[in-house]
Amino acid sequence: MTMQVEQKEAEGGFELILSGRFTFTDYPAFRRLVSDILERPVSGYVIDLEKVEFIDSAGLGMLLLARDEADRKGRSVELRGPQGQVKRVLNVARFGTLFTIRG
């Protein structure tokens, strides 16, 4: 089962809403949407992880690449609402020191 990626324009900027399992096979859609957002004139965007049930190291790698790409273009990326396994993985990987993680 692949992850669903939804792009949404919100008050503060753009949001990328993910749901399901975030693994290697999800890279084409994720990469394309991240690139799309960075084409727009926004200062940054939020990746919503609330509905993500599972993430593996490839998913973490993709989040880091998204952050690198945003940095190169002078934009910011925030993570929001990780739950369960995702929250625990982000904790073990100390993503709190690399990202702003809300809720």
Partner 1 sequence: MAPDGGPGDICPETAPHGTDTWVKRYCTANAHAPSGIAEPAGGGSAGDLRRAVRCLDSWLGLSDVQRRTLEALVSEVMGSSDLVERGAITLSDSFRDLVSQANTQTERVESIAQIVSRIEVDGELISLQQVTRELETSLVEVVDHIISLSKKAMEMVYALDDVIANVDKVEVLIGDIETINRQTNLLALNATIEAKRAGEAGRAFSVVAGEVRDLSNRTKSLAEQMRSQVGTVTRGVREGHTILQGVATMDLSSHILVKERLDRMLRALLEQNEAFREVLDEAAHASNDMSKSISGLVMGMQFQDRFKQRLEHVTDSMHVLAVALADLEDETRTAFPDATKDSSRADALVDQVLGKVRMDEVRKRLIARLMSGGDLSELDRPELFEEGAQHDGDDGIELF
Residues that bind partner 1 (CB under 8 A): 23-24, 27-28, 31, 56-58, 60-62, 64-65, 85, 88-89, 91-94
Name which of 8 and 24 has its Cβ closer to partner 1.
Answer: 24
Integer Cα distance of 63 and 54 in angstroms: 14
**Least CB distance to partner 1 at residue 9 (A):** 25
Burial readout 46-57 (b: 16 or more C-beta within 10 A, e: otherwise): bbbbeebeebee
SS3 call for 68: helix
Name which of 11 and 73 has its Cβ closer to partner 1.
Answer: 73
Name which of 23 and 76 has its Cβ closer to partner 1.
Answer: 23
The answer to whether the CB of 20 falls within 8 A of the CB of 43 is: no
**Least CB distance to partner 1 at residue 60 (A):** 5
